[in-house]
Amino acid sequence: MIRLNEKEEQVMQVLWRLERAFVKEIVAELESPRPPVTTVSSIVRKLEAEGLVGHEEFGKTYRYYPILKKKDYRKSFFRQMMEDYFGGSTEQLLSHFVQEENMDPANLKKLLDKIKNKEDAD
């Protein structure tokens, strides 16, 4: 299970969007109030030590890129969320969205069609 804290996830979101970036470019993409360059640099180095980010050298500076794919993180994140909050039950998760999030009936129909199509494919 991959767990990113809020700041790490913000940095990863920038790297996923830009694909490759220097620390100053990452800082420029973050919402205000922007953290100092040194803070972002520390976050990126930590992510690199964990094997989630890699770098290319350009003289004395590094350009970073994500090793962890966004789809892999999303899959892991939702799997853990479903386990933590819905006992691993897809049915409970979907029920929550229908009841608590006032899901639009048209979107609900699309979701049900996707479920039906997946069942037919299996």
pLDDT in tens, 105-120: 888 788 878 877 876 7
Number of alpha carbons in the 13 Å side-chain half-sphere of residue 98: 13
Q: Does residue 81 fall inside a structural domain?
A: no
Averaged confidence pLDDT in the chain: 90
Q: Are residues 53 and 101 in the same domain?
A: no
- Looking at the fold, whether 56 and 94 belong to one and the same domain comes out as no
- pLDDT for residue 122: 61
Q: Is 66 exposed, middle or buried (0-12, 13-18, 19+ CB in 10 A)?
A: buried
80 in a structural domain: no
Rounded to the nearest 10°, the torsion over CA 67, 71, 75, 76 is 10
Domain co-membership, 54 together with 15: yes
Same domain, 98 and 59: no
The answer to whether residue 75 sits within a structural domain is no
Domain around 62? 6-66
- Give the pLDDT score at 69: 96
Using 50, 70 and 90 to split pLDDT, how confident is the model at 40? very high
Task: Look at residue 94 in the predicted model and tell me its pLDDT.
Answer: 79
CATH, residue 48? 1.10.10.10
pLDDT of residue 89: 85
The share of the chain scoring above pLDDT 70, in percent, equals: 97
When pLDDT is averaged across residues 25-50 and rounded to a whole number, the result is: 96
Q: Is residue 73 part of a domain?
A: no
**Same domain assignment for residues 57 and 95:** no
* 96 assigned to some structural domain: yes
Give CB contacts under 8 A, 24+ apart, made by 35-44.
35/7, 39/7, 40/11, 43/7, 43/8, 43/11, 44/11
Length of the chain: 122
61 and 93, same domain (yes or no): no
Residue 81 has pLDDT above 70, yes or no: yes
Per the DSSP assignment, residues forming a β-bridge with 64 are 21, 55
The answer as to whether 77 is a domain residue is no
pTM: 0.78
d(CA 13, CA 120): 35
Q: Report the domain count for the chain.
A: 2
pLDDT in tens, 85-107: 989 888 888 788 778 777 788 88
pLDDT at position 54 is 98
